[in-house]
Amino acid sequence: MKVGLTGGIGSGKSTICGIFEWLGVPIYNADLQTKSLYLTNHILKSELIETFGEKMYSPNGEINKIEFKSILSDKTLGKRLNELVHPFVFANFENWVSKQTHPYVIKEAAILFESGADATVDTVISVIAPFDVKLKRIKQRDSQRSETEILNIMNLQLSEEELIKRSDYIVYNDSSESVIKQVLALNIELLQKSTHF
Ligand code: ATP
């Protein structure tokens, strides 16, 4: 069974995935895999250059982070980039899934719904945390990021209300309820659910 896990910036996706991983659940980190595909998949690379220009890569083949950032901060261009990349990530994910033996796997993706990847998983978990908690955590974790940059990213992402509406399960990472307890309960539920797949 394929489980998608998403949530806003700083909500605690990676932290929650770390607990699932500790329970033996294989985790596919879509953001990391996408970055790796930008470098290693030659077809994707040439499609990116064809669409957005040579400036996407530096002469030594590294990705031009400033260009990628600028594209992703624009709603229309960001959508175009995600639409182009998504089929490659999907194929890579399916290949990875075919090698797993655990009853269920988790695909961690910051833009699961925005990229349409929710349609490629069987059930979705969203991690939710209050706005000020997310902002504080990101400021502490990424000291090089300005508050404006963090707020811009938050504004591009789905609202908490929308995430709750579109998800099957919610993990509240707001210090009011133990996240470990929530994940342990969810793990039992997902193991049961996976027997139907
Ligand atoms: P991003 O979208 O930027 O990848 P994320 O949703 O994966 O973020 P994490 O990296 O897991 O979020 O968490 C953001 C920061 O908040 C990290 O420094 C993490 O250690 C911290 N954090 C997450 N959950 C908690 C918690 N329950 N208590 C304290 N700190 C937390």
The predicted structure's pLDDT at residue 174? 92
Q: Which residue has the tokens 């509406």?
A: 165
- Is the CB of 145 inside a 6 Å radius of any atom of ligand 1? no
Q: For the CA atoms of 75, 80, 86, 87, what is the dihedral angle to 10 degrees?
A: 160
Do 186 and 123 reside in the same domain of the chain? yes
Do 109 and 196 reside in the same domain of the chain? yes
The predicted structure's pLDDT at residue 185? 98
Do 110 and 169 reside in the same domain of the chain? yes
Q: What are phi and psi of 52, to 5 degrees?
A: -110, -5
- Is the CB of 45 inside a 6 Å radius of any atom of ligand 1? no
- Is the CB of 129 inside a 6 Å radius of any atom of ligand 1? no
The predicted structure's pLDDT at residue 175? 84
The predicted structure's pLDDT at residue 43? 97
Do 40 and 135 reside in the same domain of the chain? no
- Is the CB of 15 inside a 6 Å radius of any atom of ligand 1? yes
Q: Measured between alpha carbons, how far is residue 26 from residues 51, 97, 103 in Å? A: 34, 9, 10
CA dist 89 and 186 (Å) reads 26
Q: How far is the CA of 170 from the centre of ligand 1 (A)?
A: 16
Domain with 9 in it = 1-26+105-197
Do 93 and 110 reside in the same domain of the chain? no
The predicted structure's pLDDT at residue 156? 84
Do 161 and 71 reside in the same domain of the chain? no
Do 174 and 124 reside in the same domain of the chain? yes
The predicted structure's pLDDT at residue 176? 87
Do 128 and 85 reside in the same domain of the chain? no
Query: Which CATH number is 133's domain given?
Result: 3.40.50.300
Do 90 and 66 reside in the same domain of the chain? yes
- Is the CB of 137 inside a 6 Å radius of any atom of ligand 1? yes
Do 133 and 164 reside in the same domain of the chain? yes
Residues of the chain predicted below pLDDT 50:
none
The predicted structure's pLDDT at residue 72? 87
Taking CA atoms only, the protein residue closest to ligand 1 atom 22 is 12
Do 111 and 193 reside in the same domain of the chain? yes
Total structural domains within the chain = 2
